[in-house]
Copies of this chain bind each other. A is one copy, B any other.
């Protein structure tokens, strides 16, 4: 009856393998993310991965959850100080694939979202992210129109024009989609120019 020796950090291992899933998904699509392919990418054997994942569903779901957690952590780490319109611009810029790392995340993310349409296992997480992003965009619209979120309670969503929320939300998703669809052909300056133009109209109009 020995005290349990912990040889490897399971959580860290699961995270590493999740990153391997992202790379495979980006390169070959979610269909190509077979257990064998991910094992090769992660430098493991298929049998070895079974000690950390219950199966392919657990593997892919974990990779998707890790992705949302990563994006969420980056958003939570943003500097909330400054005039409201400047904060709004900062958050928007964080949502765009302005560098390679976020481009890779966006490409993998859309693969998961695409599958969520026909696979229940991914749907709930996709819907939660969708609602979370919509709430964030609602705050961005409020910020752009000069509302200071520090003054309003977190529980209550700010009162804003829902048409403008959907307009900005769709614009952002469309920009990311275009960057994903044509990697390297949508420069960062274009993305920023478009959102700056949009935010300008939002500020002037509100």
Contact = CB atoms under 8 A, between A and B. Distances in A.
A164 B193 CA distance: 10
A174 B175 CA distance: 8
Given A29-B117, A126-B181, 13 more contacts: A107-B117, A111-B117, A114-B114, A117-B181, A117-B183, A163-B194, A166-B178, A166-B194, A167-B198, A169-B178, A173-B174, A173-B178, A174-B177
Q: How many identical chains are in the complex?
A: 2
Contact of A167 (B113, B116, B197): B197
Q: 7 closest Cβ contacts across the A-B interface?
A: A170-B174, A174-B174, A29-B118, A173-B174, A114-B114, A170-B175, A171-B171
- A contact face: mostly helix, strand, loop, or mixed: helix
A201 B171 CA distance: 14
Interface in A162-203: 163-164, 166-167, 169-175, 177-178, 180-183, 190, 193-194, 197-198, 201
B194 A167 contact: yes
Contact of A117 (B117, B169, B173, B180): B180
Contacts of A206: none
Query: Looking at chain A, what size class is its interface with the partner chain?
Result: 35 or more
A118 B177 contact: no
A59 B167 CA distance: 37
Nearest to A186: B166
A122 B198 CA distance: 32
A28 B118 contact: yes
24 contacts: A27-B118, A28-B118, A29-B118, A29-B119, A31-B31, A117-B183, A126-B181, A127-B182, A130-B181, A130-B182, A163-B194, A166-B175, A167-B171, A167-B194, A167-B197, A167-B198, A169-B174, A170-B175, A170-B177, A170-B178, A170-B194, A173-B173, A173-B178, A174-B174
